[in-house]
Chain A
């Protein structure tokens, strides 16, 4: 057992260790919030460095009896998770400084580790462990401010999450019963094509379990309540981070283990994607609470991302198409790459948007006892808090998919892959939905830029501003120089397809 052999997993080890140290130090020191926040940020930066040192790993490195795989896909997701956590930590520096802050940062780090484990798992058991680590940590985080609203949000999240986990575990156990192994490769080898009712039930249970994290309709119902009620920075983590963990798990399990059932999950995801984006966007139009709008927008985005699965189901094994700039890739790979790009983009945009709401809420909360996230608080934000308003403007445009932003690039690649694989109806529906989504994004923008200010100019808190500006730069950067990101996503997507 050489130490260097585990080099690709140092990032996870570092963060786990750091989380334990933070809890330990926190019990010894008083009011150490600033220090803990700084430590966490430093640890996340170091972990990001470690992950990016083998970002485009060519051959998968397998660990622990072939249950953990470090490959292009895992590194893609890990990078996304680490960036989201880092932004959340930076934003939290303004808020969590006092008593109990050590637990906050430790939980946040553990949640990140859980997500990273899921991204690497090629075994149902490790996957479940990672899933639960992330879930349990975020249950606690959602209740962290211990206000009534927090507790309600966390409670709903917890109950819904437990049921989903139970269903997912049930699905796993059925799969184990049929294949005799928990490793994804073995499950794929056991012929599941001999269709039996149990197989379908197992598949749907697994999809429901992941769908809970992804917040696909009808497994989404916890999301608006929780995103609205949890501390805003935690909502950012849930929407941008743990939601993407659901996709990471679904990609691995469905494409590696259950590819024999692709026609079944193709149909399931076609229904789920169409339902999710339409209902998400429709529901968002009626909301007045900005975090609820963002929650529904996040649901709608999950619907777009789910198109990736439909594309794979429709075009798996089909001949490569001439896609962009002379690259010849299978439409399935393009679909996964598009989903990955949208995952990356959405992680950034949504983190930024939730941090923005946190900024506004913290500024408004001082002076009023109404709902701090009500859209009326955003009136004239451009004059009250120009930097926040401008960053929010970019995030809204990016979420709506307007170029040149990360949101546009993701949608562009994903929707084109849908067209290439003959799913024109789905692409059209998605584009119509994007147009519909402008209704509520522009509504927020019009409040920020066209309404008379609801109060005097406010002091913008530094931690939030740093996180917002960094995110904005990243969102625009990906939009303006997308090619390297497209290449990266294509390369990560190749892991899931037979060479």
Chain B
């Protein structure tokens, strides 16, 4: 029954968007409560659908749109967990936003754009075909642009919005190219579609992956990966994400931590069978993910802006998710469950961390860690909820992040035993750094002396309420749902009868079922794990299992040694020094700005552009100038005619007739037609 109203999950936020846009100015708090109600309605419907279809049914509704395309809703386990997460987190953030945006003159615009964003993200998640997904994908990008530039009179915000839009555009072009390539390949298969089936629908794609040439599959997968890299802020298209923190903190929490940036990971998960079948595609995913995870974590170590620390952390955690999918080359479809589990858990604790940061910023009116210190004395609730979020992010035992992140590290180890240890090493290092930078942030905000004169008050309850709820999930989600989550997600592709054995052969993956387990004896077969969803008994040595706990505790300890004032007095003057070359490099973000903007963009690209410009001026422009001069002259002549001499019009008419007659006669003569 609830499934009949699935369209309302997108419909309600769209309605809220229109209401806030047109009537928000006349409503209290810019009509924010409408947006809350809309996403809350979506949450109710999603829960109803969950109740109806769990654990073994899916919802698929579709109707023809035009030509070869359809619009449709596909709610399978993968989509359902995303729907639940997005509606839940976004509802909480909207509630918080009602407090945070209170008094902002643009509140109505904020809530309208936030509602549109919710609609786009939810539509993206449950699209049943790639084209519709792409449309919502672009809409999400548009909303991100609008919301980053929300304070558009601030030049840095406007610039950040533009940067985000242009950078993700690079990925989107690749994504679109991937879709077109996929469509062409599917179309050339001459598939006999049943009524109600369309080429770009996911079930149809899944069913025909094996028939597409492997080389084409890799190209398609790399195109889609390009889109995912852009959206999920992976190296080298991650540069926009830290700058995106120019928007209101709620936007950072909603878009740039919990939901939108996960769209890239979701895309790879959604198309996982294709990535699995495409030779080398998952290797690229693993490489990008693992590298990004470590790379971003090192930059998180030195940032002084609390939101930038969290932004780098987001980039790094998204790298974990990508790597989790990438190592699926070794462990098969269970990688999707592991990666999405981290995605969901991350949404909870990262949303929590951002909202806590927002609460702190709301009170102290600065983003700079160096100007905070001792905030915990005045903001107890914020401090403890943020502690829970930080512990979860750091992977402290029994917190959500512990289960999800460590599972990725463990399967990366399996990948290592079978293929390559590099991702594993990168991820372990990144995990150590994660614990360090998280607690560096927490200690320097909440403990120690007050380092500037700031507002000393706790935030209102409309903001604290969501924090408490999110904290509950940041702590308990992992322990409560781990096993059922894996088994539920592992069943995702069974609904479509995807044969991973067959796809694995195309993709050139060593499948244990056929070749015997290459890893340690006594290890359970991963393929059978994927089927039965048993994740308890891995064949890893005990120290691999224990290592993540050591990592988390060790990282927190190291951070404490340096930043907890009970141990060592935090002195901002010591850390501002630009003399230390390593610190300076990290602070400068590996000189990316220097390399990408100053050297590559301004040096190489601009230099090339200058040369092209020379050619352009001399050759192309010369020709164009001649053409435009000719056109202008032509236009002038028309003007002359149009001063009133109608005879000239008629002359043109007659001339036209004569020319046509002559040309056609000649063409006949020559035999052209």
- Chain A contacts to B: CB under 8 angstroms: 152, 155-156, 159-160, 163-164, 167, 195, 197, 200-201, 204-205, 207-208, 212, 217-219, 221-222, 224-225, 263-264, 266-268, 271-272, 282-283, 286, 323-326, 409, 412-413, 481-483, 486
Q: Mark B49-85, 1 if CB is under 8 A from A, else 0.
A: 0000000000000001111100000000000000000
Given A163-B650, A208-B656, A267-B673, 16 other A-B contacts at CB below 8 A? A195-B668, A200-B665, A204-B657, A207-B660, A218-B652, A219-B653, A221-B648, A267-B663, A268-B660, A272-B660, A324-B66, A324-B67, A481-B65, A483-B64, A483-B65, A486-B67
Is the CB of B561 closer than 8 A to any CB of chain A? no
A-B contact pairs, 21 of them (CB 8 A): A159-B646, A160-B649, A163-B650, A204-B657, A204-B660, A205-B657, A218-B655, A219-B656, A221-B652, A225-B642, A264-B673, A266-B673, A268-B660, A283-B638, A286-B635, A323-B67, A324-B66, A412-B67, A481-B65, A483-B66, A486-B67
Q: What CA separation (Å) do A264 and B664 show in the bound complex?
A: 7
Is the CB of B585 closer than 8 A to any CB of chain A? no
Is the CB of B193 closer than 8 A to any CB of chain A? yes
Is the CB of B462 closer than 8 A to any CB of chain A? no
Is the CB of B667 closer than 8 A to any CB of chain A? yes
Nearest neighbor of A201 in chain B, beta-carbon distance: B661
- Chain B contacts to A: CB under 8 angstroms: 64-68, 193, 198, 631-632, 635, 638, 641-642, 644, 646, 648-650, 652-653, 655-657, 660-661, 663-665, 667-668, 672-673
Give min CB distance, B542 to chain A, whole Å: 58
Q: What CA separation (Å) do A324 and B650 show in the bound complex?
A: 44
Contact A160 B66 (CB under 8 A): no
> Given A218-B656, A267-B664, do A152 and B649 touch, yes or no (CB 8 Å)?
no
Contact A482 B665 (CB under 8 A): no
Q: What CA separation (Å) do A268 and B661 show in the bound complex?
A: 9
Residues on A with C-beta less than 8 A from B648 are: 221
Residue among B631, B653, B657, B668 with max Cβ neighbours from chain A (10 Å): B653
Give min CB distance, A413 to chain B, whole Å: 8
Q: What CA separation (Å) do A263 and B664 show in the bound complex?
A: 9
Give min CB distance, A295 to chain B, whole Å: 12
Q: What CA separation (Å) do A218 and B642 show in the bound complex?
A: 14
Contact A164 B653 (CB under 8 A): yes
Q: What CA separation (Å) do A126 and B33 show in the bound complex?
A: 64
> Given A156-B646, A218-B656, A267-B667, do A325 and B198 touch, yes or no (CB 8 Å)?
yes
> Given A200-B664, A267-B667, A282-B631, do A167 and B657 touch, yes or no (CB 8 Å)?
yes
Residues on A with C-beta less than 8 A from B638 are: 221, 283
Give min CB distance, A326 to chain B, whole Å: 7
Q: What CA separation (Å) do A218 and B663 show in the bound complex?
A: 15
Contact B663 A271 (CB under 8 A): yes
Residues on B with C-beta less than 8 A from A266 are: 673
Residues on B with C-beta less than 8 A from A326 are: 193
Give min CB distance, B588 to chain A, whole Å: 36
Partner of B66, one of A159, A200, A212, A409: A409
Q: What CA separation (Å) do A267 and B662 show in the bound complex?
A: 12
Give min CB distance, A473 to chain B, whole Å: 14
Partner of B661, one of A200, A219, A323, A412: A200
Residues on B with C-beta less than 8 A from A283 are: 635, 638
Contact A156 B649 (CB under 8 A): yes
Nearest neighbor of A208 in chain B, beta-carbon distance: B657
Give min CB distance, A408 to chain B, whole Å: 10
Partner of A324, one of B68, B635, B664, B672: B68
Contact B649 A486 (CB under 8 A): no
Nearest neighbor of B667 in chain A, beta-carbon distance: A267
Residue among B66, B68, B650, B652 with max Cβ neighbours from chain A (10 Å): B66
Give min CB distance, B66 to chain A, whole Å: 4
Residue among A219, A221, A263, A266 with max Cβ neighbours from chain B (10 Å): A221
Residues on B with C-beta less than 8 A from A267 are: 663-664, 667, 672-673
Partner of A286, one of B67, B198, B632, B668: B632
Contact A221 B649 (CB under 8 A): yes
Q: What CA separation (Å) do A412 and B638 show in the bound complex?
A: 33
Partner of A204, one of B198, B631, B641, B661: B661
Residues on A with C-beta less than 8 A from B655 are: 218
Q: What CA separation (Å) do A195 and B631 show in the bound complex?
A: 37
Give min CB distance, A397 to chain B, whole Å: 14
Nearest neighbor of B672 in chain A, beta-carbon distance: A267
Residues on A with C-beta less than 8 A from B652 are: 218, 221
Q: What CA separation (Å) do A212 and B650 show in the bound complex?
A: 11
Give min CB distance, A217 to chain B, whole Å: 8
Give min CB distance, A390 to chain B, whole Å: 11
Contact B631 A160 (CB under 8 A): no
Contact B653 A160 (CB under 8 A): yes
Give min CB distance, A105 to chain B, whole Å: 29
Contact A163 B653 (CB under 8 A): yes
Nearest neighbor of A325 in chain B, beta-carbon distance: B68
Nearest neighbor of B193 in chain A, beta-carbon distance: A326
> Given A200-B664, A201-B661, A221-B638, do A325 and B64 touch, yes or no (CB 8 Å)?
yes
Residues on A with C-beta less than 8 A from B632 are: 286
Residues on A with C-beta less than 8 A from B656 are: 208, 217-219
Residues on A with C-beta less than 8 A from B668 are: 195, 264
Contact B653 A218 (CB under 8 A): yes
Residues on B with C-beta less than 8 A from A205 are: 657
Give min CB distance, B179 to chain A, whole Å: 15
Partner of A268, one of B66, B664, B672: B664
Residues on B with C-beta less than 8 A from A159 are: 646, 649-650
Contact B635 A482 (CB under 8 A): no
Q: What CA separation (Å) do A163 and B646 show in the bound complex?
A: 11
Residue among A201, A266, A324, A413 with max Cβ neighbours from chain B (10 Å): A324
Q: What CA separation (Å) do A399 and B563 show in the bound complex?
A: 61
Residue among A267, A325, A483 with max Cβ neighbours from chain B (10 Å): A325
Q: What CA separation (Å) do A159 and B649 show in the bound complex?
A: 10
Q: What CA separation (Å) do A145 and B336 show in the bound complex?
A: 71
Q: What CA separation (Å) do A272 and B660 show in the bound complex?
A: 9
Contact A325 B657 (CB under 8 A): no
Residues on B with C-beta less than 8 A from A155 are: 646
Residues on A with C-beta less than 8 A from B650 are: 159-160, 163
Residues on B with C-beta less than 8 A from A272 are: 660
Residues on A with C-beta less than 8 A from B198 are: 325
> Given A167-B657, A325-B198, A409-B66, do A221 and B664 touch, yes or no (CB 8 Å)?
no
Q: What CA separation (Å) do A159 and B644 show in the bound complex?
A: 12
Give min CB distance, A452 to chain B, whole Å: 15
Nearest neighbor of A203 in chain B, beta-carbon distance: B664
Q: What CA separation (Å) do A219 and B660 show in the bound complex?
A: 12
Give min CB distance, A434 to chain B, whole Å: 17
Give min CB distance, B88 to chain A, whole Å: 30
Q: What CA separation (Å) do A155 and B646 show in the bound complex?
A: 9
Q: What CA separation (Å) do A21 and B660 show in the bound complex?
A: 46
Give min CB distance, B376 to chain A, whole Å: 47
Q: What CA separation (Å) do A267 and B64 show in the bound complex?
A: 37
Residues on B with C-beta less than 8 A from A486 are: 66-67
Nearest neighbor of A216 in chain B, beta-carbon distance: B656
Residues on B with C-beta less than 8 A from A263 are: 673
Give min CB distance, B12 to chain A, whole Å: 19
Give min CB distance, A97 to chain B, whole Å: 31
Which 9 A-B residue pairs are closest in the complex by CB-CB distance? A324-B67, A218-B656, A482-B66, A221-B649, A263-B673, A483-B66, A159-B646, A218-B652, A204-B660
Nearest neighbor of B187 in chain A, beta-carbon distance: A322
Give min CB distance, B289 to chain A, whole Å: 34
Nearest neighbor of A261 in chain B, beta-carbon distance: B664
Q: What CA separation (Å) do A217 and B653 show in the bound complex?
A: 9
Give min CB distance, B412 to chain A, whole Å: 42
Nearest neighbor of B67 in chain A, beta-carbon distance: A324
Q: What CA separation (Å) do A212 and B649 show in the bound complex?
A: 11
Q: What CA separation (Å) do A82 and B650 show in the bound complex?
A: 31
